Amino acid sequence: MPALSVDKIAIKNGSATMSSLPAEGKPLACTAINFSIEQFSLTHQFPFQLSVKLPGDGSLQLKGTAGPLSQANIAATPFRATLDLKKFDPVKANLVEPSTGISMLADFNAQIVSDGASLTSIGKIKANRLLLSRSGTPATQPVDVDYSVSSQIAARIGRVIDLAIHTGSLATHTTGSFRMEGDATVVDLHFSADKLPIDQLEQLLPAVGVTLPSGSRLKGGTLTAALAISGPVSAATIAGPVEIENTALAGFDLGSKIEGLNPFGGTKNGTQIEKFSTDLNSSPQTTRFDNISASVPSIGTASGSGTVAASGALDFQLVAKLKSSTVVGGIANAGMDMVGLLGGKRNAAGNGIPLTITGTTANPSIKANVGSMLKQDFTGKTGQSSGQSVIQNAGQQKNNPVQGLKGLLRK
């Protein structure tokens, strides 16, 4: 009926439930629905208004114009609208499963325009109690997001023109693409952060599941990252280089935590970190750190790799090169020099001391194995089958300064 027109259509205090077809998960229940259309026509543009109460304390208001109505596909109807969401909780609205670890209480304002074939949206989000990880805890400070996206309606694909996250003076940017596969949203995004101030970034770490040792906090310095985010939103993989410079892990005495090298002083007021870099690869199951390179001025340097399980369990294998200016570092390095004098090989890590880190992110356990390293490095020239035999034989020679090394090995 192309000539059909209606002066006014109104729904007052209605209710509705909405679900996908086929139905998956719980439906979205809406109450206090007030909806009005004036001067409705199938062939002309008409104004509309909608207000809805959402589960929890959330509310939605949508106001704009739509039409002419597409009779072939209602989704292809052109429209222009302003959207306001208040206290929106996607978990209580049954739009996000609690198992994904994603939650927030958000205020949302957006301008949405569709010509029937493509849709663009520009808006702002203020997210309170933001959580983005199964193992995380909600952020204590609000996070502001400015975004601009576009999509092709029929093809069900889209582009993230910019997704800018702000908290204080901190700002990160994400660009890329997304597509719909069934009910899942699959993303291919690129996240960039250039020298972010860690003092402000720290408050977001719990939200993404990063837990620091108990009683510690990061202080000062910057973080730089270039990460690729790919896969379904509910199980995305995050990968790329991360670098931290000139920060301090206040409240964590790294020197006293390294078992097998005690006493190792110089960090009782915290641990200064000159530089830390790694290649990150994070999935819902585990987070892997490859090509770790760390420089701690009071101790030395370390390299290696390791993993953090979803439970927070640590499994890292590192090699540390200690500063000779420290007592323990001087002894260990002197021990390696003695290895050369006695005909031993330099180890593959370049005279480094193996470190094993286990435990949890909140309570790490760090162990050094100096004796094992030195024993394994005695081979070859003497024809002995073990490093200990070399030391014992060398110790029988008069005036040979091996006794201190033997004591170190016994320890």
What one-character-per-residue DSSP string does 41-78 give? Answer: ESSS-EEEEEEEEPSTT-EEEEEEEE-S--SS-GGG--
Q: Compute how many other C-beta atoms are within 10 angstroms of the C-beta atom of residue 260.
A: 18
Residues 6+ apart with CB under 8 A from 205: 211, 212, 218
Residue 109 has pLDDT above 90, yes or no: yes
Q: Compute how many other C-beta atoms are within 10 angstroms of the C-beta atom of residue 217.
A: 16
* Position 148 in a domain: no
Mean pLDDT, rounded, for 137-163: 91
What pLDDT does residue 371 have? 62
Q: Which amino acid, residue 217?
A: R
* Position 397 in a domain: yes
Domain that holds residue 269: 253-276+284-411
55-71: pLDDT as tens digits:
888 999 999 999 998 88
Strand 157-167 versus strand 143-152 pairing type: antiparallel
Domain boundary, last residue among 48, 71, 95: 95
Residues 6+ apart with CB under 8 A from 100: 134, 233, 234
Domain boundary, last residue among 95, 110, 128: 95
Euclidean distance between CA atoms 218 and 211, whole angstroms: 11
Per the CB < 8 A criterion, the answer to whether 279 and 290 are in contact is: yes
Euclidean distance between CA atoms 202 and 212, whole angstroms: 10
* Position 202 in a domain: no
Residue 347 has pLDDT above 90, yes or no: no
* Position 381 in a domain: yes
* Position 175 in a domain: no
CA angle 235, 59, 65 (to 5 degrees): 95
> What is the domain count for the chain?
2
What pLDDT does residue 339 have? 47
What pLDDT does residue 383 have? 43
60-99: pLDDT as tens digits:
999 999 999 888 888 889 999 999 999 998 888 877 777 7
What is the CB-side half-sphere exposure of residue 210 using CA atoms within 13 A? Answer: 12
Euclidean distance between CA atoms 61 and 51, whole angstroms: 4
Euclidean distance between CA atoms 396 and 383, whole angstroms: 17
The alpha carbons of the chain give a radius of gyration, in whole angstroms, of 30
What pLDDT does residue 389 have? 46
Residue of higher predicted confidence among 346 and 98: 98
Euclidean distance between CA atoms 383 and 347, whole angstroms: 18
* Position 5 in a domain: yes
Q: Report how far Cα 74 is from the mean position of its chain's Cα atoms.
A: 39
Q: Compute how many other C-beta atoms are within 10 angstroms of the C-beta atom of residue 396.
A: 8
Question: What dihedral do alpha carbons 313, 319, 320, 324 form, nearest 10°?
Answer: 160
Domain boundary, last residue among 60, 95, 130: 95
Q: Which amino acid, residue 371?
A: G
* Position 47 in a domain: yes
* Position 171 in a domain: no
Residue of higher predicted confidence among 398 and 280: 280
Euclidean distance between CA atoms 57 and 192, whole angstroms: 34
> 59: exposed, middle or buried (C-beta count within 10 Å: 0-12, 13-18, 19+)?
middle
Residue 375, both tokens? 């024993």
Strand partners, 110: 83, 123
